[in-house]
Amino acid sequence: MATDASKNPEIRNITWHHAAVSREDRERLLNQCGTVIWLTGFSGSGKSTIASALDQMLIKSGHLTYILDGDNIRHGLNADLGFAPEDRAENIRRVGEVASLFADAGLLVITSFISPYRRDRDRVRGIVGPEHFIEIHLDVPLEVCEQRDPKNLYKKARAGEIKDFTGITAPYEPPETPELKIDTSTCTPDAAARCIVDYLRRRNITYCSGDESSCI
Amino acid sequence: MATDASKNPEIRNITWHHAAVSREDRERLLNQCGTVIWLTGFSGSGKSTIASALDQMLIKSGHLTYILDGDNIRHGLNADLGFAPEDRAENIRRVGEVASLFADAGLLVITSFISPYRRDRDRVRGIVGPEHFIEIHLDVPLEVCEQRDPKNLYKKARAGEIKDFTGITAPYEPPETPELKIDTSTCTPDAAARCIVDYLRRRNITYCSGDESSCI
């Protein structure tokens, strides 16, 4: 900077304060309420596919979304974590903290993790704030997931090649009072995503600005 | 879901694929390029104040920003970390990973950490991708920072109450080729923020949609 104001005590001792931009400012800009949409369910229950379908529906209507899943978390932020019970808990804790930051930034953040333990999910609800947390249980019979087995993980688990596999050799604790429960053995991924979109509208998490294109 | 399609093999074995929403889709929606604006410098160099001023300027012109700083990181995601050298490195690594996710989501993310080690900052540059990383050195003489001492930290450090304090008892390694270097002893926080805003425009990270209100 060219100005030689370093000798000017008024600038050198300037009051270093600024009113912060608030969550509400960002939500107003985005025309939505920052929210964590937490998908939970067995491997093969449709979490990733529904997250992707939901992501597309919302962005097409002008809403800003972001997916947190194993792909962008396990290879980056949580690359230092394994699959021991304490590592799984720390994995979900960090995801919860990051999801909370995204919601604070005004985004609709969709998370896609098995997250089998009630305690871990409830902890995330506490971090995010219950009013900003939507728990969605993809409540599909285990046998349907095993039949789908898109990544051949159930086969490997049955063969003993994967230990502590949720539903086979490790527990899944279903949510007791999720905001939504969807059985994806009876509907398409698009129908499941539409069901979530309708819920967001009812809760006024997404809304119309008057411009029809922003209405979904 | 009402439809009893669970017996319909076409739905049960549906191909669970969806084209993903891309970074470019989100950037188009936001009319900006997701970027990490990394402020580095001594305590008292003006990081938080400039981050806040920049945040306000950008959001007023319709750009979506988010600040990552000690307040929202050290108390949440990194609450398990202390100040030992390996904890400091892990702190910056995680901040880099989260900043990278935010940039991928299309945001202009402003980080405000002393981040004294060149190796740590360079690692973040690698995580984020050099084309999305703007390192800004708030290059203020140590004596100016010590004179400001807004949190009385220098006094405590000189009195031996804080150990490993950057600039006093711990090193600061200045960036060798930062994208920007600003001496905040010679300008106001608003002028420093404006300097960054101008740089973002020159780099086409923020741009006009034709609507004058989006031009800054």
| A150/B contact by beta carbon, under 8 A | yes
Would residue B80 be called left, alpha or beta, if left means φ above 0 and alpha means ψ between -120 and 50 degrees? alpha
Band (pLDDT 50/70/90 cuts) for residue B199 is very high
What pLDDT does residue B72 have?
86
What pLDDT does residue A19 have?
59
**Token pair of B50 as six digits:** 């400039």
A13 with B65: Cβ contact below 8 A: no
Name chain A contacts of B68, Cβ cutoff 8 Å.
101
What pLDDT does residue B163 have?
86
What pLDDT does residue A207 have?
75
CA–CA distance, A156 with B71 (Å, rounded to integer): 44
| B209/A contact by beta carbon, under 8 A | no
Higher pLDDT, A83 or A209: A83
Name chain A contacts of B56, Cβ cutoff 8 Å.
18-19, 21
| B15/A contact by beta carbon, under 8 A | no
Q: Tell me, what DSSP letter sits at residue B150?
A: T
Name chain A contacts of B95, Cβ cutoff 8 Å.
none
What pLDDT does residue A10 have?
37
| B14/A contact by beta carbon, under 8 A | yes
Of A18, A25, A76, the CB nearest to B52: A18
**Token pair of B144 as six digits:** 């100016």
| A70/B contact by beta carbon, under 8 A | no
Task: Enumerate the H helices of B105-188 as residue ranges.
Answer: 118-128, 142-148, 153-158
Cα–Cα–Cα angle for A184, A188, A192, nearest 5°? 65
**A50-54, B12-16, B169-173: the lowest-pLDDT one:** B12-16
Q: Judge whether B115 counts as a catalytic residue.
A: yes
**What is the least distance, in Å, from the CA of B177 to any CA of chain A?**
17
Share of chain B above pLDDT 90, in %: 79
What pLDDT does residue B62 have?
95
Band (pLDDT 50/70/90 cuts) for residue A212 is very low
A13 with B147: Cβ contact below 8 A: yes
Read off the pLDDT of each residue in A95-101 and give the average, rounded to a whole number: 97
Of B14, B64, B101, the CB nearest to A30: B64
pLDDT at A190 over 60: yes
What pLDDT does residue B19 have?
59
List of domains in chain A: 21-214 (3.40.50.300)
Band (pLDDT 50/70/90 cuts) for residue A208 is low
* Residues in contact with A120: Cβ distance below 8 Å, sequence separation at least 6, in sequence order: A88, A89, A92, A93
- E strands present in B60-127: 65-69, 108-112
